[in-house]
A = this chain, B = another copy of it.
Amino acid sequence: MPGTSGQAQGGRPEGARAAGDGAVEDALTPDGRSTRWADHRVARRTELVHAARRAVHRHGPDVSMDEIATTAGTSKSIVYRYFVDKPGLQRAVGEAVVAQMHTAMDEAARLAETPREALRGVVDVYLEMAEASPNVYWFVTRPVTEDASVPLGHFLDQVAGLIARPFARVAAVEAPAGFADVWATGAVGFVRGVGEWWLQHRTDPDAPSREVLTERVTSWLWTGPVSGLARTRPESPMTGQITSETSSETTSETSS
């Protein structure tokens, strides 16, 4: 499945100085000189992610690392201390965004009473995110151009995971395992496609509002293109809510 468990959080630099990675089991003697940075590091890292987000928001998805560093009030050296490389940063930002969406989606899913409604909520969250900052959206979404395409941990895969989880529950009854994941991947692709189209045509006079588009997309996804009107059918209840342990950091983030 996409985004399997997941370690490998964000592109961290390997040479993590941090608490005795190797060395003799100094578990006995946690050197204060090393440990004292622990929290500082995570703080700084998220701060950098935040800055990167702002930089991208302002200067577009192609900001240079220099520009990002400047926005963060520091220099490349620091940025590269916290992120292996640019794709690494991209991943980290992507994860932040995913985390944010995660909570929003949980919210939407909890309020939903049918799987279809849950799906609709997810679509809306996605679109809302893209609209909030197209630049960040592109930054996070764009394949990392890395030689090995899609170095995994890709943003879209994570989103797919988000939508697959609740859906799998329902699908489990009627579809072989693994189907849910693939479908979710496709579904994300669908809203991605429509979403990106929308980002470019939002301004057009005859462009649909986000709400309308959301509903339309949900319908297409759920029942196909042939007008679903008479297609309504009693859905499987799908337990009342979906809930999933949220958490994730802050989420505060504001891009502007």
> Which A residues are closer than 8 A to B by beta carbons?
2, 60-62, 134, 138, 142-143, 145, 147, 149-150, 152, 156-157, 160, 167, 170-171, 174-179, 182-183, 185-194, 196-197, 199-200, 206, 216-217, 220-227, 229-231, 233, 235-236, 238, 242, 252, 256
Contacts and interface: CB of A to CB of B under 8 A. Distances in A.
Contact of A174 (B178, B192, B217, B229): B229
B138 A186 contact: no
A186 to B, nearest CB: 4
A226 B152 CA distance: 28
Task: Specify the main secondary structure of chain A where it touches its partner.
Answer: helix
A176 B145 contact: no
Given A167-B225, A186-B217, 12 more contacts: A61-B149, A145-B145, A152-B200, A156-B193, A176-B252, A177-B256, A179-B256, A186-B220, A189-B194, A226-B235, A226-B242, A227-B236
A150 B197 CA distance: 10
Contacts of A2: 197
Given A186-B190, A186-B220, A193-B189, A174 B236 contact: no
Contacts of A220: 183, 186
A119 to B, nearest CB: 9
Given A193-B192, A194-B189, A143 B147 contact: no
A7 B48 CA distance: 41
B194 A191 contact: no
A231 B228 CA distance: 12
Contact of A189 (B176, B192, B230): B192
Contact of A233 (B193, B230, B238): B230
Nearest to A188: B193
A235 B225 CA distance: 12
Nearest to A253: B176
